[in-house]
Amino acid sequence: MNSFTFVRQLAWRESRAAGRRLLLLTTAISIGVGALVAIESFTDNLTVALEGQSRALLGGDLALSTRTEPTPGFRLVLDSLTRAAGADPATDLAEVTSFAGMAYVPRTAGTRLVRVSALQGDYPFYGKVITDPEGAWGRLAEGRVTLVDPAFLTSLGAAVGDTMALGESRFVIAGTVASFPGDVGVRAAFGPRVFIPARYLEETGLLGFGSRAEYDWFLRVPASLDTKPFADTWRPSVGAQQGRLKTAVEEEEDLRQFLDQLGRYLGLVALIALLLGGIGVGSAVQVFIKRKRDTIAVLRCLGATSGQVFAAYLLQAAAMGFLGSLAGVFLGLLLQLAMPRVFGAFLPLDVSVEPSIQAILTGLGVGVWVALVFALLPLLAVRRVPPLAVLRRDVEEGARRRADGWIWAARLVLALSVVGMAMLQVGDALKGLAFSAGVGAALLVLWLAALGLIRSLRRWFPHRLPYVLRQGLANLYRPANQTVAVVLALGFGAFLLGALAVMQHNLLRQLQLDGGLGRPNLVFFDIQPDQKDDVLAEIRTAGLEAQPAVPIVPMRLAAINGIRVKEMLADTMKRPVRDGERVEGWALRREYRSTYRDTSVGSEKLVVGDWWRAGAGGAPGPAPLSLEVGIASDLAVTIRDTLTWDIQGVEIASVVANLREVYWAWFEPNFFAVVPEGPLADAPQSFVVLTRVDDAAVMGSLQRAIVERHPNVTSIDLTSIQQSVEKIVASVALAIRFMAFFSLATGVVVLIGALATSRYQRVREAALLKTLGATRRQVVRIMVTEYAALGVLAAIVATGLASLGGWALMKYTFEVPFTVPWLGFGILALVLVALPVTTGLWTSLDLFRRSPLAVLREE
């Protein structure tokens, strides 16, 4: 038998009994590994699903789009491009016009804001539209029929066969669309989709002046055409016509990149859970080695070298790590089944769940490695157990107590492993480092807090407290205490959940549209000038107050400081410079839906310059202009710069008079550009009218009345939009909470492990106390004091960290005011206190079952 055989055999024999305790701790690794395997497998599945679906995702090989009505120039480019691609305009080109509109079902008298898609041609060229009844998609070509999302029928109480009014036109509902290639579930929250044949689009009268629509063309090209270089050649011409060109390959690349990012960031959460598990393993090994001191000393006495003993325990840790990781793999494969449910709403793909070998191997490898590197530091203490400890329990470890080269090496391996894993996960060295630093900082704060508690208790021990409280608190700093491990384990998961609570609370508060503040909750838009008075009258007839109609004038930039936008688009060097970079094309190209007024409104705040006096628009010379700060920065302009606008062919010069900050989260008509009343009074425009309706029945009848009289006018019930937003936020929150859960679950396992590891000592101590006359009640109160103190500390630090992180995010990223989510924090704190108390009492149940004598006899 050689040395390795001895090590192996010792590791195996030792693990039979002691290993069970370690095994509990390796389950801490399991959860992290589970999360990792689930996420890696899921992203693998997504990548596989993406393979070959790219054309179906786009609906064609090439797609052109524009947000303004296509000009003859655009049509010309489209025509040339189609021919150049070798596609037949009659069969290989499809046109889809999408816009928001009000649909009305006369039978049920229900109205609903819908996303209309008017189709012409054989769209989609790839992928399969699944309808109910089957094959209904083909009926779109037959006549005045429509296919709708199932949600449309449900919300209006309508059925297949009913008539749906859309603008001035009527359609028979021929079926529902169960699945459309490339559609993202979460989009449905903004209104159900309604498909109509494009030849009736004109008839609806919905695309009047000022209404917004998206125009898309899809092309099917011969397989021989390499779309990417083709698209690159044509992009400048399409861009010059305010259009965009996209290929299926690019679409796939974008999506692949998105999935890759998603996988990486979700993987980070798994990594956090893994690292917490690692801390759990480390603390367990530390206590384990302390308790193995006698055995180690005996082995050393019998001639085992410290290297052999160290190797035996390291092997044990590796084996436990492997078992824990194996359990994690199974957990991960189970979790994987839940992934499509949690993330499906954000993905345009149907995913089939299949285990990925690569994910499994990664999980196993990373799990064992984490267990090893975290076990390494406490295991090095094995070398310091002198054989003399057999004769003298109190023997000191002497000169080797100071950190030696091995300990520094182990610390280095640990740090490099964490940073390395983060870097690999994020795929970016700097971000990986930043992530490690962030996690390290949070852990450091938790660790310092726990250490601070221990030190302060020792220093300023509250001697006047009743005995049971004193005993409970003293337990927090006695030898082999688990204070640091428990605070770290619980605190980190709680910090993540707390930060989530802060974000959800503060962001949702911003989106409170219907907070009873009397703010408008019903918006009518696309109102034509001749309809304005009638709409206002309708509102007043319903007994409601209407705010003044807000005019909307679509404008485009013609020149900045005398340089023509066309020249800037053609030659980047002519564009203004912003932060060392040239202004981007989209800001120059886009349509600015602007308004005119002489006063500032509640949802904006002046930051630079002054508002003009009423009547300033009548003065000769360029009109004063108010710009939103963000767009001013995008255009690299500031006050006193000159902007020339093109309004349906007429040019108007303006000078930036002030810059505004706009609270876009307020659902009110907000604008990038505002000019004084006067110059635009006769420009082509539409109007928006807002009102507040508190009665749902009045809301319904008013919407219906206006749709019937003015079918082109679209109305949005902000209350339902608010619900949609909340639904989206809720599904995002679910996804995040699902991930944060791993950290908390790992925290709980580490907690159970930490308390179970020190259980032996607690039970013995309690037995002694009982022997000395303590009642069961007193013993329980001592334990509750200790565990509750741990929970309170974890809660204070975690919520403090979450508030700090949340405050910084709100202030610097979201730029919204910050408040503390007291209710969320209260619940979190209760859970944090309840967890260690119940776990602690549960792991000490033995004590209440057995007599103190029985416990002491085991000594």
Cross-strand bridge partners of residue 550: 688
Determine, following the binding rule CB under 8 A, whether residue 9 of this chain makes contact with other proteins.
Answer: yes
**Closer of 306 and 723 to other proteins (Cβ):** 306
**Closer of 567 and 858 to other proteins (Cβ):** 858
The torsion angles phi and psi of 87, rounded to 5 degrees, stand at -95, 150
Whole-number Å distance between alpha carbons of 199 and 744: 56
**Closer of 35 and 309 to other proteins (Cβ):** 309
Least Å distance, CB 764 to other proteins, is: 15
**Closer of 18 and 445 to other proteins (Cβ):** 18
**Closer of 389 and 721 to other proteins (Cβ):** 389
How many separate helices (H) and strands (E) can be counted in the chain?
Answer: 26, 23
SS3 199: helix
Determine, following the binding rule CB under 8 A, whether residue 3 of this chain makes contact with other proteins.
Answer: yes
Q: Which residues between 235 and 274 bind other proteins (CB under 8 A)?
A: none
| Tokens representing residue 435 in the block | 């992530």
The torsion angles phi and psi of 627, rounded to 5 degrees, stand at -115, 150
**Closer of 395 and 542 to other proteins (Cβ):** 395
- 64: enclosing H helix or E strand: strand 62-66
What are the CA-CA distances from residue 683 to residues 67, 71, 210, 591, 811 (Å)?
20, 20, 11, 15, 40
Q: Which residues between 200 and 229 bind other proteins (CB under 8 A)?
A: none
Least Å distance, CB 458 to other proteins, is: 21
What single letter denotes the amino acid at residue 299? L
Determine, following the binding rule CB under 8 A, whether residue 308 of this chain makes contact with other proteins.
Answer: yes
Q: Could you say which of 107, 199, 392, 640 contacts other proteins (CB under 8 A)?
A: 392
Q: Please, what is the angle between helix 429-459 and helix 776-808, to 10°?
A: 140
Least Å distance, CB 303 to other proteins, is: 2
Determine, following the binding rule CB under 8 A, whether residue 846 of this chain makes contact with other proteins.
Answer: no
Least Å distance, CB 306 to other proteins, is: 6
Size of the site for other proteins (CB under 8 A): 33
Whole-number Å distance between alpha carbons of 852 and 215: 82
Determine, following the binding rule CB under 8 A, whether residue 402 of this chain makes contact with other proteins.
Answer: no
Determine, following the binding rule CB under 8 A, whether residue 16 of this chain makes contact with other proteins.
Answer: yes
**DSSP assignment, residue 210?**
T
Least Å distance, CB 809 to other proteins, is: 50
Q: Could you say which of 1, 90, 430, 573 contacts other proteins (CB under 8 A)?
A: 1
Closest C-alpha among 660, 665, 643 to residue 652: 643
Q: Which residues between 276 and 305 bind other proteins (CB under 8 A)?
A: 294-295, 297-305
Least Å distance, CB 397 to other proteins, is: 13
Print the binding letters for residues 643-672 with other proteins: x by CB under 8 A, - otherwise. ------------------------------
Determine, following the binding rule CB under 8 A, whether residue 306 of this chain makes contact with other proteins.
Answer: yes
**Closer of 334 and 391 to other proteins (Cβ):** 391
Query: How many Cα neighbours within 13 Å face the side chain of 111?
Result: 25
Closest C-alpha among 380, 358, 349 to residue 46: 349
Determine, following the binding rule CB under 8 A, whether residue 5 of this chain makes contact with other proteins.
Answer: yes
Q: Which residues between 17 and 76 bind other proteins (CB under 8 A)?
A: 17-18
Choose the stretch contacting other proteins; rule: CB under 8 A; options: 5-13, 113-121, 207-215, 734-742.
5-13
DSSP string, 557-604: EEEETTEEHHHHHH-GGGSPEETTEEPPHHHHHSEEEEEE-SS--TTE
**Closer of 310 and 672 to other proteins (Cβ):** 310
Asked if residues 381 and 370 have their Cβ atoms less than 8 Å apart, the reply is no
**Closer of 390 and 502 to other proteins (Cβ):** 390
Burial letters 658-667, b for 16+ CB under 10 A, else e: bbbebeebbb
What single letter denotes the amino acid at residue 843? T
Q: Could you say which of 161, 185, 222, 307 contacts other proteins (CB under 8 A)?
A: 307
Q: Please, what is the angle between helix 718-757 and helix 306-343, to 10°?
A: 160
Asked if residues 492 and 273 have their Cβ atoms less than 8 Å apart, the reply is no
Q: Which residues between 332 and 391 bind other proteins (CB under 8 A)?
A: 386-388, 390-391
Residue in this structure with the two tokens 């009913």, named with its chain if needed:
162
Rg over alpha carbons for the chain, rounded to the nearest Å, is 34
**Closer of 13 and 811 to other proteins (Cβ):** 13
Q: Which residues between 179 and 198 bind other proteins (CB under 8 A)?
A: none
Residue 246: alpha-carbon gap to chain centroid: 27
**Closer of 5 and 224 to other proteins (Cβ):** 5
Determine, following the binding rule CB under 8 A, whether residue 397 of this chain makes contact with other proteins.
Answer: no
**Closer of 308 and 510 to other proteins (Cβ):** 308
Determine, following the binding rule CB under 8 A, whether residue 856 of this chain makes contact with other proteins.
Answer: no
Least Å distance, CB 297 to other proteins, is: 8
Cross-strand bridge partners of residue 214: 98
Residue 396 has a CB neighbour count (10 Å cut-off) of 12
Query: Would you tell me which residues interact with other proteins (CB under 8 A)?
Result: 1-3, 5-6, 9-10, 13-14, 16-18, 294-295, 297-308, 386-388, 390-392, 858
